[in-house]
Amino acid sequence: MPRPRTRDGVLRPRDGDALRAELRHIADASGVPVVFGGEVDSHTLCLSHFHGTRTRGLDGLVIPSRSGLGGRVLDQRRPAAVSDYRASMYITHDYDQPVLGEGLQSILAVPVVVAGASRAVMYAAIRERGPMGDRVADSMIRASKRLAQEIAVRDEVDRRLRLMDSVSAHPAAPSTSATETLREIHAELRTLSGSDIDETVAARLVELSDRIAGSLRGPDVESDVTLSARETDVLAQIALGCTNAEAAARLSLKPETVKSYLRSIMSKTGTRTRHESVVAARRLGLLP
């Protein structure tokens, strides 16, 4: 599957790399001997990442919706398990040869669901019959949620970049609506960059938000005033008309923390109100 590119031609990080990292984390955290998984494309799962396997029978296996345990999970978008694979009447047995050839008996499959669609499936397995226990299941569920959030953030970045492309199609004189769209994109990118995501992705989000601010900055603007990353995050939300409480909720901060950041911003910009701070920050090129 080709890797999507941003508007600058920069490659989006592979979702498969994040999947591989989560599989390693599951193995380390739970002690389960075998973990594997793959991404979903066009309602079809392709197994591509493995830890603890002894054969290559599962490598590259293509599993359509509703086939086997993985296809059932892909289709139903919820975890499922078999404690005795060979005897299970719960699944189709289209993949008995590679599964039993690997010696797997008890298998748990968990989907990674983003915006109502399965984007990947992760498996944990042991070579004995019987349930694997809550420790493995809990580790799998947590990993699934982390990976879903990571992919959702990447999707949102791609969506915002497409919006930027549409606005940038007429760069000579941005309309009021185009300017407001850029300001909304800027604020949401700042919000996403502060969430619990990969550091490389977060840095990319900050870079993109800075470029948006720069795109609307006057050519002769020079200033010694600088805002911290969190101060910029807060002021971007205030610029959209958020109350302190709303800004705090969006940024996962306490309202008192937001107030503290605003006091610091006012001190740096020599302003007395939230509105004056936004106006000053835009004049200085710190906000779009």
At 46-91, the pLDDT tens digits run 999 999 999 999 999 999 999 999 999 999 999 999 999 999 998 9
What pLDDT is attached to residue 157?
76
Q: Are residues 114 and 177 in the same domain?
A: no
What pLDDT is attached to residue 10?
45
- Read out DSSP for the chain? -PPPB-TTSPBPPPHHHHHHHHHHHHHHHH--SEEEEEEEETTEEEEEEEES-SSSTTTT-EEETTSHHHHHHHHHTS-EEESSGGG-SSS--TTHHHHHHTT--EEEEEEEEETTEEEEEEEEEESSSS---HHHHHHHHHHHHHHHHHHHHHHHHHHHHHHHHHHHTS-SS--HHHHHHHHHHHHHHHHHHTSS--HHHHHHHHHHHHHHHHHTS-TT--------HHHHHHHHHHHTT--HHHHHHHHT--HHHHHHHHHHHHHHHT-SSHHHHHHHHHHTTS--
Question: Confidence class of residue 285 from pLDDT cuts 50, 70 and 90?
Answer: confident
Among 90, 117, 152, residue at a domain's last position: 152
List the domain range (segments joined by +) for residue 135: 15-152
What pLDDT is attached to residue 190?
81
At 187-204, the pLDDT tens digits run 878 877 777 777 777 777
What pLDDT is attached to residue 222?
60
At 147-184, the pLDDT tens digits run 998 888 888 777 766 665 555 554 544 556 667 777 77
Taking the model in full, what pTM does it have?
Answer: 0.63
Report if residue 1 sits inside a domain. Answer: no
Q: Are 77 and 118 in contact (CB under 8 A)?
A: yes
Q: Are residues 20 and 146 in the same domain?
A: yes
Residue 211: give its domain's CATH number: 1.10.10.10
Indicate the Cα dihedral angle 173, 176, 179, 181, nearest 10°: -130
239, pLDDT greater than 60: yes
At 106-124, the pLDDT tens digits run 999 999 999 899 999 999 9
Domain count, the chain: 2
